[in-house]
Structure formats: C-alpha cells, structure tokens
Amino acid sequence: MTIYPDPNNPYPLENYKQLCFLKNIITNPNIIVGDFTYYDDFENPHNFENNVLYHFDFIGDKLIIGKFCAIASDVKFMMNGGNHPLNYFTTYPFTIFGHAWENTMSVANTSKGDTIIGNDVWFGYNALIMPGIKVGDGAIIAASSVVTKDVEPYTIVGGNPAKLIRKRFEDEVINLLLKLQWWDWPIEKITQNIGILCSNNLAALKQLY
C-alpha cells in the first residue's frame, strides 16, 4: 500500500462511491481537471458532466479546474452555450430551427471565454458558476452562491450575486501561499508537510519557503 491515495483511482473511498477523483470520470475533452480534485454527489458522481450546463462542442469553451479542489453535490458550471443574444431586438434563437430561419445568426456570438478554476478551491453545495468566470487558488464559494464575477485567491464569496464575505488570511499569508503553490509539489513532499498545510502555523509555513 502506498502512503498516499492514487490520483488515478476514480473512487478513492472504498465504501463511498458517491465521491470520485473527478478527472477519472470525465469524458468531455473540453473539461480538464487536476489531480486529487474530487466531486461528491448525493446520488452518482457521474452526474457531474450533466452539471456543466450548455456546454456545446461547436462553441468549444473549456472548463479547467486545478488540483485539490473540493466540489460539493449539485455545484453547476454554466457555459457559454447558455447565452442568447442580448443586443438583438429578439433573444429568440431562430437560426437553430433551420428552414428559412437558418443563418439568421440569432444565436449568441459573444463568448465570455473559458471557465478557469484554480487549485485548492472549495465549492459549497449547489453553487452556480457563470460563464467565463475565473476563480483564484484557495477560494471558497459559499453554498448556493451564484458567482457572476471573478473570485480573488484565498477569498470567501457568497450570495446571489456572490460578494466578498472576507479574505481568508492576511495579505502576507496569502502571498506566501501563492508563492509556495504547494499543490504543484511532488506528492511525497505534500504528504510530508500535510501537518503544516492542515494548520495555521505561519512560522512553520514560512520555513517551507
């Protein structure tokens, strides 16, 4: 037995198959997930891709999630295919129904780009992330939030629309964590230093730098 879990094991908890190391169950090449990021679904973790909403190949936008994120049940990512045109006289998507309506271009032609999630981000139950949002490392998204703006690293945001609740640490600590980027260390080094990562011992953290 190794001293750390295998990131390539879809179901790292033997007796709890509702939780998966997410990268192992993704089939859509436009969803990219880092090692150890997990998704915990009340029913079946394979629901995750259904929670990436309006994600169409012909648009090609990507959902990119870093390492060591924790994603609770019913978290949803709205992608750019959900947008209807805002600046036309009608938002009705005539063109998708073809016939004489084909090529009328009444589908949204502005994309807000890829959704990019950092590392060590915790998503509370039922959060909704809107298209093109960037969430920084170490952020926390409160339960049932609707995230409409980018989220700074190591902040907690919540509500609809999600607003800053507070910074998680003093700027000095945040800057140190962002420099350390512990999630990119070799897994042996992470394992060795978990005691410090799972503490708020600043002196010990500084010694890791």
Interface with ligand COA (CB under 6 A): 70, 72, 124-125, 140, 142-145, 156, 158-159, 165
| Residue closer to ligand COA, measured from CB, 24 or 144 | 144
Minimum separation from the CB atom of position 157 to ligand COA (A): 8
Minimum separation from the CB atom of position 163 to ligand COA (A): 8
| Residue closer to ligand COA, measured from CB, 156 or 205 | 156
**3-state helix/strand/coil string of the chain:** CCCCCCCCCCCCCCCCCCEEEHHHCCCCCCEEECCCCEEECCCCHHHHHHHEECCCCCCCCCEEECCCCEECCCCEEECHHHCCCCCCCCCCCHHHHCHHHCCCCCCCCCCCCCEEECCCCEECCCCEECCCCEECCCCEECCCCEECCCECCCEEEECCCCEEEEECCCHHHHHHHHHHCHHHCCHHHHHHCHHHHCCCCHHHHHHCC
Minimum separation from the CB atom of position 73 to ligand COA (A): 7
| Residue closer to ligand COA, measured from CB, 59 or 157 | 157
> Is 84 considered catalytic here?
yes
Q: Which residues are catalytic?
A: 84
